[in-house]
Structure 1
Amino acid sequence: MINSAHRLRAAIVAVSFLLVGCGGTAEKLGAGGSPARHGEATPAPGPAASRSAAPGGLPGLGPAALAAIPSRTRQVVLVTGRGRNSSRSTVVLYERTEAGWRAGPSRLAHNALKGWTHHHRAGDLRSPIGVFTLTDAGGLLPDPGTRLPYDRSGAFTSPGTGFEGEPLAGSFDYVVAVNYNRKPGTTPLDWTRPMGAGRGGGIWLHVDHGGPTHGCVGLREDDMVELMRALDPGLHPVVVMGDAASLAR
């Protein structure tokens, strides 16, 4: 039974989604207020990506993105947009080994309707470019087996339809919060916005509803579950996200 606090959170999330989507909006690369180091990032290989990366490097990432990845990080979720104004992207999980970065499978995903931005603002319909830590998960359904702290709540609702008329139901069955303009170590539903509401927030990795998002990244449900089970807080995971050209600089 959902308590009154969860009912209130559900209402907030529902209203927020209708206004800006993905539980809120996103924010700019390099901004303060998040423990993630905000630098530029670059692309992952396309759908036919190889299973291994060259030792010491991550494919498609330029010096700025590489420098922004914390030295202790051993897992990188690389989200590479097809173009600056494209809502299509590719997601690859890399894990650092003694031999270098090892790549997992390449997975197709959706990002924001209008593509990507270095300076996200609430309601701009673009996903933020940058490097952000991943510390917290949650969802409407039971914990799928993630090692991240998991908040199961009826407040993870996704009402209405998307930009292409697709139903949004189930989009928040599983989510991982992207630490952009949010307080790490809290439920993804926490509405604290260190940089202010104007800079957006509520950027999540979540279940794909089959169309563009307001700022989040959507993956197919089975891909989302596999990713959540793979993420290990002991490896200090981050997401590096942006369009290929921006990430390669």
Structure 2
Amino acid sequence: MRALRRSALAVLTVLALSACGAVTGEQGAVEQAPGAADLVEARDQLARRADLPTPTPTARPTASRPPTPKPGGSKTTNDASRLRTLPAGTTQVIVVKANGFGTSTGTLQAFSKRGGNWTPAFDSMPARLGTKGFKDSKVEGDLTTPTGVYSFGGTIYGIAGNPGVRYGYHKLVANDWWNENPATDGYNSFFHGADPGGASEALWETNPQYRYFAVINYNIPVREANPPRGSGIFLHVSVPGRSTAGCVALVESDLVKVLRWLDPAAKPRIVMAPASELDRY
């Protein structure tokens, strides 16, 4: 215990001397207190450390960012992009689809091709089909709409005047018929004159359906078949609440919009099929 007391006393003495700097000894000379050299050395070391360069903090790892996708890296997916058999020069396509083969209601979509991608030209439009829906092997009078890919006739027809189409336009007059008599040479074509017989349609009298219509080139040119493969497949004005005899029908305002959009220079095509079958085309 005495040794501890002496050691504590020595420490207190050193602290006091360091505060004053010096004491007077028996000889009157200024002497350094015991342990002062150690304190000086300690101070010198601290000073030297203060002159050292400050350590650079370790950089924190930064979170990696996902790579920015390259423009044009992926194509838009829609019903037009599913089609595989369109001619290379076709830049307009109409897709008419339904939920299955047996329904008379469906939708019509119009697409334009730009930069290799198909983009919608309009919002989807409600459409009416044949009373018995789609059919792969249509025949005359069966009330079905044929499936497949078809071009349009070079002339658009109508009881009303030209709504501003890019195709040729014929305003219907009396004795304008669509020949639907398979026993005649002009089967499945426009005819002006006396009634060709059979189920031929008096176009100028069929209102409102034929206020405007485009010819879908199904069975044009005619392919010989027994029974005949069918005739008079048009894109025309719909009658509220009614299906068609095999055509595709739209509300008049929608139809006019589509007819004005169609451009023969774009080599347009119409594709008709149940939604599940579009990949065939």
Shift of the alpha carbon at 1:82?
A: 2.5
The answer on 1:207 being equivalent to 2:245 is: no
TM-superposition CA deviations, 1:109-147 (whole Å, max 9, x none): 100001111111111111000000113311111111110
Helix, strand or coil: the match of 2:210? coil
Structure 2 unpaired stretches of 5+: 1-73, 177-202
2-side partners of 1:203 and 1:56: how far apart?
31
Partner SS state of residue 223, structure 1: helix
For residues 145-171 of structure 1, the C-alpha deviation after alignment (integer angstroms, 9 at most, x for no partner) is: 110121211232355xxxxxxxxx310
Partner of residue 141, structure 2: 123
In the alignment, is the contact (CA less than 8 A) between 1:147 and 1:229 conserved in 2? Answer: yes
What is the CA distance between 1:93 and its match in structure 2? 0.5
The alpha-carbon deviation at position 246 of structure 1 amounts to 2.1
Q: Which amino acid aligns with 1:206?
A: H
Q: How does 1:79-98 map to 2 (within 5 A)?
A: 79-98=96-115
Report the Cα distance in structure 1 between the residues aligned to 2:75 and 2:163, rounded to whole angstroms. Answer: 32
Q: In structure 1, what residue type is equivalent to 2:169? A: Y
Q: 1:107 corresponds to which residue?
A: 125
Give the deviation of 1:57 after TM superposition.
Answer: 5.6
The 5 Å alignment of 1:77-226 reads 77-98=94-115, 100-103=117-120, 104-136=122-154, 137-154=156-173, 155=176, 156-159=203-206, 169-183=207-221, 193-195=222-224, 198-210=228-240, 211-226=242-257
With over 3 angstroms needed to count, the CA separation of the structure-2 counterparts of 1:138 and 1:213, relative to structure 1, is same
- C-alpha root-mean-square deviation of aligned residues, in Å? 2.0
Offset, 1:247 = 1.9
Verify the 8 A CA contact 1:141 1:174 in the aligned structure 2. Answer: yes
Q: How many residues align?
A: 175
Letter in 2 for 1:202: G
Kindly indicate whether the alpha-carbon contact (under 8 Å) linking 1:171 and 1:206 is maintained by their aligned counterparts in 2. yes
Give TM-score scaled by structure 1 length. 0.65
> Corresponding residue for 2:79?
59
Structure 2: distance between partners of 1:222 and 1:116: 24
Q: 1:57 to 1:132 in 2, by over 3 A?
A: farther
Of structures 1 and 2, the one scoring higher in RCO (CA 8 A, sep 6+) is: 1
Residue 90 to residue 70, structure 1, CA distance change in 2 (3 Å): same
The residue aligned with 1:229 is 260
Does the CA contact (< 8 Å) of 1:89 and 1:110 recur in 2? yes
Three-state SS of the structure 1 residue aligned to 2:204 is coil
Cα distance in 1 for partners of 2:255, 2:132 equals: 23
- In the other structure, the counterpart of 1:245 is 276
2:153 aligned counterpart, secondary structure: coil
Q: Which structure shows the bigger proportion of residues in helix conformation?
A: 2
CA distance in 1, matches of 2:162, 2:255: 12
Question: Which amino acid in structure 1 is aligned with residue 274 of structure 2?
Answer: D
For 2:236, what is the secondary structure of its paired residue? strand
Structure 1 unaligned blocks of 5 or more: 1-53, 160-168, 184-192
Could you tell me how far apart the structure 2 residues matched to 1:170 and 1:114 are?
22
